[in-house]
């Protein structure tokens, strides 16, 4: 009896570890502010050197690489694994404003922590978003 219970608990936790979020394309931003958030452009788009700075933050003080990995595909995390940044459909659907919202608020219910205001500034957030967009470039 006891062993069956333990075994099923183990199986449940294993399946949890390998679960991707079922609705990966669902907006993370609350409905009431989604449209306004999507309208925000990245002010660093045209600024020389910004992409290079974003790369340094991704691999450095932002600690993004620990969860999102070198190639942007992400490491497996318990419960909810990070977004695959090389997924073209995901890249298309998400606006820069939405990514900034996630950097400022984290992604509730997942391991994505608040970054902007805690470990990086808003400027650095926009720069690292430029770098995340590069994972889509072929």
Please report, as ranges, the residues that interact with ligand HEC according to CB under 6 A. 21, 28, 62-64, 66-68, 77, 80, 82-83, 94, 98-99, 102-103, 107, 110-113, 115, 120, 128, 132
| Least separation in angstroms between CB 1 and ligand HEC | 36
CB 40 within 8 A of CB 122: no
Closer Cβ to ligand HEC, 113 or 117, answer by number = 113
Sign for the CA dihedral angle at 61, 63, 64, 69 comes to positive
Closer Cβ to ligand HEC, 47 or 119, answer by number = 119
| Least separation in angstroms between CB 94 and ligand HEC | 5
Q: How far is CA 11 from the centre of its chain?
A: 27
H-helix or E-strand containing 66? Answer: helix 64-68
What is the DSSP track for 101-121?
Answer: HHHHH--TTSS----BTTTB-
Closer Cβ to ligand HEC, 8 or 79, answer by number = 79
């Amino acid at each position: 009896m006891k062993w069956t219970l333990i075994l099923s608990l183990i199986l449940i936790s294993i399946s949890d570890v390998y679960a991707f979020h079922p609705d990966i394309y669902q907006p993370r931003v609350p409905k009431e502010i989604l449209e306004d958030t999507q309208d925000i452009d990245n002010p660093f788009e045209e600024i020389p050197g910004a992409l290079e700075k974003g790369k340094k933050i991704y691999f450095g003080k932002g600690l993004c690489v620990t969860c999102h990995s070198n190639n942007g595909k992400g490491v497996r995390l318990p419960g909810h694994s990070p977004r695959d940044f090389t997924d073209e459909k995901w890249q298309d659907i998400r606006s820069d404003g939405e990514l900034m919202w996630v950097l400022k608020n984290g992604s509730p219910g997942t391991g994505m922590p608040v970054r902007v205001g805690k470990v990086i500034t808003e400027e650095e957030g926009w720069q690292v978003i430029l770098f995340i967009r590069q994972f889509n470039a072929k």
